[in-house]
Chain A
Amino acid sequence: MSFLEFIRQPWPWYVAGPLIGLTVPTLLLIGNRSFGISSSLRHICAACLPANISFFKYDWKREAWNLFFVVGILLGCFVATYFLSNPNDIVIAPATETALRAFGIQDFKGLMPADLFATATIFTLKGLFFFVIGGLLVGFGTRWAGGCTSGHAIMGLSNLQWPSLVATCCFMIGGFAMTHLLLPFIFKLVL
């Protein structure tokens, strides 16, 4: 197996997790930056539509590194998807696939099911739930919580901050509640 073929395989958790963890010391040591991604959404608001809201009145240019970081993520994903992509279909846990099939999901080839996340669904009821409402919850929730999976779950826990543990537990509880209690109804409505 060539190196490229090797790299193209999906990476196991014990390779990916430590690499993601290394982002923490990398950012700290190259510029005294704490890892966090949801701040970028706030900087975009501060830059584009501060609307005299005090929460958006700060020197976002000083925090611009965060915007460079997320643009980097976008580019990295482009590189990985178009040059290093896995030639095979994604392998999903059989129990999850069975459950999702029962709800009416039919596409299990790529990273996202085309039944829900295609451009054609934007102006449909699916789009309203999976893009608009989902996105609003992510943006509003992370800012209210003061961070997301990266800022709280990874950076905050790395620095042994108990408020981050509270936040991380709430992220998980919210996710379980949505998956098991509400998503079945949403699937019934849109699929």
Chain B
Amino acid sequence: MQPITTTNPRATENREIGCDAPNVSKKSESGLANLKYMLVGLAFGIVFVKAEIISWFRIQEMFRFDSFHMYGVIGSAVMVGMLSVFLIKRFNIRTLNGEQVYIMPKTFNKGQIYGGLLFGFGWAITGACPGPLFAQIGSGFWAVLVTLLSAIAGTWLYGYFRERLPH
């Protein structure tokens, strides 16, 4: 199936920014409207804790092939996500504002390999990808604040060295 290619002014603008989770809504929203994303995050966070995805032990189990749990979580999440995106495209389901759903295509660059490997190293050490970093702090593991600050510093360093890195 063809990806949705309708011109979206926000998408063109975003191509220059290169954000991986962009806001491509044409309508600008007030700050208050952002609260609905907080609610989605809240529900998401509850699932994170209850399924123990934020646990360093679960990540160790996954990388040691000792448990199916994380593979099951990620695999079934991808299946449901895939089916949803398929249905949205197939039936041209629109957003609450009536806009056409637009998903930025990902373009390949070598960063996905080098950066992907580096992130994998960090994932196995900290037991956290960026979502669980916030999640672990919310669960009372205050020391993870240091990891979060470090991850922000890492992101900043990437921005600083970006031009000199292979892409």
A11–B49 Cα distance when bound, in Å, is: 9
Once A28-B88, A77-B139 are accepted as A-B contacts, the answer to whether A137 and B80 lie under 8 Å apart by CB is: no
B70 CB, nearest partner CB in chain A, Å: 8
CB contacts under 8 Å to A, within B37-91, are: 37-57, 59-64, 66-82, 84-85, 87-88
Q: For B78, what are the chain A residues with a Cβ–Cβ distance below 8 Å?
A: 21, 153-154, 157-158
| Contact across chains for B63 and A42 when beta carbons are under 8 A apart | no
Once A32-B101, A34-B20, A176-B63 are accepted as A-B contacts, the answer to whether A78 and B117 lie under 8 Å apart by CB is: no
Interface, chain B (partner A; CB < 8 A): 3, 17-26, 28-29, 31, 33-57, 59-64, 66-82, 84-85, 87-88, 93, 95-97, 99, 101-109, 111-131, 133-144, 146-160, 162, 165
A138–B123 Cα distance when bound, in Å, is: 6
A70–B138 Cα distance when bound, in Å, is: 10
Does A14 count as interface, using CB distance less than 8 angstroms?
Answer: yes
Q: Which residue of B lies closest to A119 (CB)?
A: B143
Select one of A80, A93, A132, A142 contacting B129, CB under 8 A: A142
| Contact across chains for A80 and B46 when beta carbons are under 8 A apart | yes
Q: For B41, what are the chain A residues with a Cβ–Cβ distance below 8 Å?
A: 68-76
Q: Which residue of A lies closest to B63 (CB)?
A: A179
Does A2 count as interface, using CB distance less than 8 angstroms?
Answer: no
A76 CB, nearest partner CB in chain B, Å: 2
Number of contact residues on A: which range applies?
Answer: 35 or more
| Contact across chains for A150 and B131 when beta carbons are under 8 A apart | yes
| Contact across chains for A20 and B130 when beta carbons are under 8 A apart | no
Interface, chain A (partner B; CB < 8 A): 7, 10-42, 44-45, 49, 51, 53, 55-56, 58, 62-66, 68-82, 84-86, 90, 92-96, 99-100, 108, 111-113, 116-119, 121-122, 127, 129-164, 166-180, 182-183, 186
Q: List 17 A-B contacts (CB under 8 A).
A: A17-B76, A22-B84, A27-B37, A33-B21, A63-B21, A69-B44, A112-B127, A119-B143, A131-B126, A132-B147, A140-B157, A145-B111, A159-B103, A159-B105, A171-B119, A171-B120, A174-B121
Which of B31, B76, B115 has the largest number of chain A CB atoms within 10 A?
Answer: B115
Q: For B128, what are the chain A residues with a Cβ–Cβ distance below 8 Å?
A: 138
A7 CB, nearest partner CB in chain B, Å: 8
Select one of A11, A17, A73 contacting B42, CB under 8 A: A73
| Contact across chains for B54 and A111 when beta carbons are under 8 A apart | yes
A117 CB, nearest partner CB in chain B, Å: 6
Q: Which residue of A lies closest to B25 (CB)?
A: A32
- A-B residue pairs, 7 tightest by C-beta: A174-B120, A72-B41, A76-B45, A139-B154, A36-B21, A135-B150, A144-B115
A13–B35 Cα distance when bound, in Å, is: 28
| Contact across chains for A32 and B99 when beta carbons are under 8 A apart | yes
Q: For A130, what are the chain B residues with a Cβ–Cβ distance below 8 Å?
A: 125-126, 147
Select one of A73, A85, A142 contacting B44, CB under 8 A: A73
A16–B41 Cα distance when bound, in Å, is: 14
B151 CB, nearest partner CB in chain A, Å: 3
B44 CB, nearest partner CB in chain A, Å: 6
| Contact across chains for A135 and B120 when beta carbons are under 8 A apart | no
| Contact across chains for A155 and B81 when beta carbons are under 8 A apart | yes
Q: For A85, what are the chain B residues with a Cβ–Cβ distance below 8 Å?
A: 49
